[in-house]
């Protein structure tokens, strides 16, 4: 359902992002309130995103040496999204809607053919890995037919916290928060929040088990990963 008032914390987060179309309807949009997506200022932002996404997805890798491709990709990505951390890499094609509403932390890897409908903010933490064919959807529509005839919709933010793994073809719906260190099994549809350090799978996605934190793993002398060197 749509929100009835603005979310100051979401608006304040958006103010720190690059090239957001800040206006009354933009604030309503990212806050989860009903808004009109056909307004020129919002349409121009989506149009800008299409051009930057084309630049990113159509990079001629034959003209870029292999040892420079990660830096070139990150340079293009930082023009496309609101913020991207060092060491993050996205395999094309990457298909955002606004782009400027996407925040990605450092050392993330996102595989090809990921779609992000960032009507509201999508905040991805550090060291997150996302498989192929994933859809992250913040956009929502009321079941009212008149709402569609009048071209109004809403969007709720999505948060994916540090160290998560999102399996291939997962769908993440509006308003979801996936807690730190969680794994979402391939093909799942995430409709509700997932607690930290969970393994969750299914449609709808449900927690199957919990796992130790990285700090707890490091203290376990029998953990096979604790002494690996990157």
Catalytic residues: 141
**12 and 121 in contact (C-beta within 8 Å)?**
no
Distance between CA 130 and CA 112 in Å, rounded?
Answer: 9
Strands (E) across 107-227 are located at 109-110, 114-117, 122-124, 129-130, 135-137, 139-140, 154-155, 158-160, 165-166, 171-172, 177-178, 183-184, 189-190, 198-201, 206-210
Q: Is 115 helix (H, G, I), strand (E, B) or coil?
A: strand
Strands in 89-90's sheet, in edge-to-edge order, are 89-90, 109-110, 129-130, 165-166, 183-184, 198-201, 206-210
Distance of CA 49 to the CA centre of its chain: 15
């Amino acid at each position: 359902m749509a929100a009835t008032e603005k979310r100051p914390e979401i608006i304040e987060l958006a103010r720190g992002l690059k090239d957001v179309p800040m206006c009354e309807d933009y604030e309503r949009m990212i806050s989860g309130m009903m808004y009109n997506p056909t307004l020129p200022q919002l349409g121009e932002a989506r149009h800008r995103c299409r051009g930057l996404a084309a630049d990113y997805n159509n990079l001629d890798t034959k003209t870029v040496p292999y040892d420079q491709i990660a830096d070139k990709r990150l340079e293009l990505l930082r023009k496309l999204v609101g913020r991207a951390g060092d060491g993050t890499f996205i395999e094309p094609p990457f298909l955002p809607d606004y782009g400027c509403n996407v925040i990605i932390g450092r050392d993330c890897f996102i595989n090809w053919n990921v779609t992000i409908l960032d009507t509201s903010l999508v905040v991805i933490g550090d060291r997150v890995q996302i498989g192929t064919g994933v859809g992250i959807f913040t956009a929502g529509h009321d079941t009212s037919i008149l709402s569609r005839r009048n071209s109004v919709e809403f969007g709720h933010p999505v948060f994916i916290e540090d160290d998560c793994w999102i399996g291939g073809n997962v769908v993440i719906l509006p308003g979801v928060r996936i807690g730190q260190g969680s794994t979402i099994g391939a093909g799942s549809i995430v409709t509700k929040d997932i607690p930290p350090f969970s393994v969750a799978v299914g449609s709808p996605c449900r927690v199957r088990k919990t796992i130790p934190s990285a700090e707890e793993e490091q203290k376990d002398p029998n953990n096979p990963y604790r002494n690996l060197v990157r």
